[in-house]
A and B are shown apart, each in its own frame.
Chain A
Amino acid sequence: MLPLLLEKVSFAVNGRTIIDRISVEIAAGPRTIILGPNGAGKSVLMRLCHGLLKPTAGVIAWRGPTNGGLRQAMVFQRPVMLRRSVLANVVYGMGLAGIAPRERELRARDVLEAVGLSHLAERPARMLSGGEQQRVALARAWALNPEVLFLDEPTANLDPGATRDIESIVAQMHASGTKIIMTTHNLGQARRLGDEILFLHQGRLAERAPMERFFRQPESSEAASFIREEIP
């Protein structure tokens, strides 16, 4: 599937331009963090890449070979739990992905173990805490063995402890071969998790750089201001 190619992609709603002619190629490997202030268009860009939104101009294409279909998953800022048990939630996604029924429960229990929620497998998912629900969402995505995992500000609503849990799982998934594309407006998180940064400002790709270089020597003035926390 990867690399993902965006060519002059724009997205406008009611005359307002939210994404303005972004061209970028995202390759396999490094953890890509989409960074930027509130309102920069990070969430919209994620959704365009994932396929939830269609660009109003430009082209988005997966340029790599697709073995076994388009395998990508997304975790949202607010996890959406179905009114079923934790285990059933994880199994649900696999059913849609066409994984064989016999395999589903086994895999589900494996990923739940990996995220540390085995003891809650039978609990109604909606009764879990925010952090736990987000872990279920990650488990659900992980069970699909996706090539690309999109995460849209996954810890924005969580306390530091839960945030650490989530970041740890994301690291594990990256280690097992999944490409991570994540948005955040939290500089610390970007430093901890990112390999490369795509900095968005008012819908445009203001800068792209490896993480180290971005924080040491940002090229654009907007990025510099942002790092100095002058733009919220």
Chain B
Amino acid sequence: MSCKTLIYGLLFVSVLAAPGTTAQTRFITVASTTSTEQSGLFKHILPIFQKKTGIEVRVVALGTGQSLDMGKRGDADVVFVHARSLEEKFIAEGYGVKRFPVMYNDFVLIGPRRDPARIAGGKDTLQALRKIKAAGAPFVSRGDRSGTHNAELALWKQAGIDIAKEKGPWYRDTGQGMGPALNTASAMNGYILADRGTWISFRNRGDLEILVEGDQRLFNQYGVILVNPAKHKHVKKDLGQAFIDWIVSAEGQKAIAGYKIGGEQLFFPNANDTGA
């Protein structure tokens, strides 16, 4: 085999790549959160949508903060996150058209089986958090402006703790996604607030288990927003709106409810709940 053959071979393979914009396929870019993608929900519902409409949905899964930022820059057509106050701010600032509630899942408070803070089985998240702080038990925070992170901060506030001021070495601000944060919690046998979806599909549990769940305060609402075409002319508003229309429709909602892991439903559709 000569040098020339190798070079031609390389050129051939790289031309094959012809990586480029597939202008032919109809697709939209949806900025969403790591929890929605990693839970496997999209893998389940998007093929149903594509089969019905022929529209491919490309999900860029980052954190809530980054997803909203993508929406502001116009790098996504639709934003699908779970941080209501941030979403409403997004719309108020003119980056989004309208917010539609889609579904909710819940958070769970996870910790080591040993449970040094003695919170297992409780129904009051705020009490649990106070106990964790009092015990100085390690607590892993996502620290990444994600929906989960925002929910965690809100809970500390509700518990009457100014976490920014009152945190000690027991509070580990990692700046990571849900999966990596769970890895960290597992490695250090710490407490962590996680969304049920990611937890169920998380494989590296170590000694961790769910200690507190079912508290109303732990419910986590998702909303979907079309990026404002007035701010970004190229936004695929028709295709994007088609996605939004579908996901709040009976069919889309049914698809969401149909997604189960180990027989357990992760996300609860509530597009009809106008207060959500």
Q: Do chains A and B touch in the complex (CB under 8 A)?
A: no
Query: What residues of chain B have their CB less than 8 Å away from a CB belonging to chain A?
Result: none
